[in-house]
Amino acid sequence: MGRVLRGAALTGAALLLVSCGVQTTSDASEEPSPSSEGLIGAMWLLDDLDGMAPADVAPVTLMFERYGGVVSGSGGCNRYSGTYELSGTSLEVAPELAVTRMACPEPVMEVESSYLAFLPEATNVSVEGERLTMTGADGAPVATFTAQSQNLAGTRWVITDFNDHFGTVVSSIDGTDPTVAFVQDGTLNGTGGCNRFTAAYTTGDGIITISSLAATKNKCAEPDGIIIQERRIKTALKTAATYLVEGDVLELRTIDDEIAVRMTSTD
């Protein structure tokens, strides 16, 4: 009888060990499978390129557009655009990138040159939450990005350019510093350089609506053209239909995809 009990006890212990072993194996954390979900349509800011980081004043941006297979952004100095193909996590960017030809300080140009050389060589992407990793031909991570927030609430901007209502984008008058602030409660406050204005706004999925705009009625004589500027800025704001934050720039566009207002962040 003692032998039977001892055998049963040993068998139970063995089953317990096996059970524990199986449990340990099933609970072992596994690396998540690479995914490209969330890649397209997001604005990505470069954090690191093989040990190089872009300057704070010259963010490097990347967007894979939803339609047309277009990839575009800023290298920190120049704008670029091209085409891409995506299959699962496999990426192919056409080597013939169109790039503007502005000159910037050498540290900025060094990052930009390396980035634009790498982009057509990227072979795979992996998106985990707000983070994008791009790898080269050897499978090693080369570039990492963070998705840029498109939430306008709580942000403040200086208007640099606006549509003059005749189809031309003009710059703000020097020294007037027209501003726009998006308040958390859905109101927009700003100035055209003389008068204060306020409006209601809503945003969502790249769409913006600005309505119920009201303003004070001071009459400023200087600088020349300030009242006309204010009137045109208010009109341009009301025509805004879409928006995009890219680096330190906010661009509002009309329903016809024309620039309504362009601003830079004050942060």
The pLDDT tens digits of the residues spanning 67-113 come to 899 999 999 999 999 999 999 999 999 999 999 999 999 999 999 99
pLDDT tens digit sequence for 8-30: 444 444 433 334 444 444 444 56
What percentage of residues in the chain have a pLDDT greater than 90?
82
Residue 207's pLDDT is: 97
Residue 10's pLDDT is: 40
228: pLDDT strictly greater than 60: yes
Q: Please, are residues 85 and 92 in contact by the beta-carbon 8 Å criterion?
A: yes
Q: Distance between terminal CA atoms of the chain?
A: 82
pLDDT tens digit sequence for 111-128: 999 999 999 999 999 999
**What residue segments make up the domains of the chain, in order of their start?**
44-147, 155-265
Write the DSSP symbol of residue 172: P
In order of 57, 143, 155, 192, the CA distances from 267 in angstroms are: 11, 26, 8, 19
Query: Does the global pTM surpass 0.85?
Result: no
Residue 3's pLDDT is: 41
What's the average model confidence in pLDDT over 24-52?
Answer: 80
**Element holding 14 (H helix, E strand):** helix 2-27
Annotation: CATH topology of 155-265 = Lipocalin (2.40.128)
What's the average model confidence in pLDDT over 212-239?
Answer: 94
Residue 29's pLDDT is: 52
Identify the architecture of domain 44-147 in CATH: Beta Barrel (2.40)
**Residues 54, 111: Cα–Cα separation, whole Å:** 6
User: 267 falls in which pLDDT band (50, 70, 90)?
Assistant: confident
What's the average model confidence in pLDDT over 191-204?
Answer: 96
Q: Please, are residues 59 and 74 in contact by the beta-carbon 8 Å criterion?
A: yes
Residue 19's pLDDT is: 43
pLDDT tens digit sequence for 156-166: 999 999 999 88
Q: What is the 3-state secondary structure (H, E, C) of 30-70?
A: CCCCCCCCCCCCCCEEEEEECCECCCCCCCCEEEECCCCCE
Residue 63's pLDDT is: 98
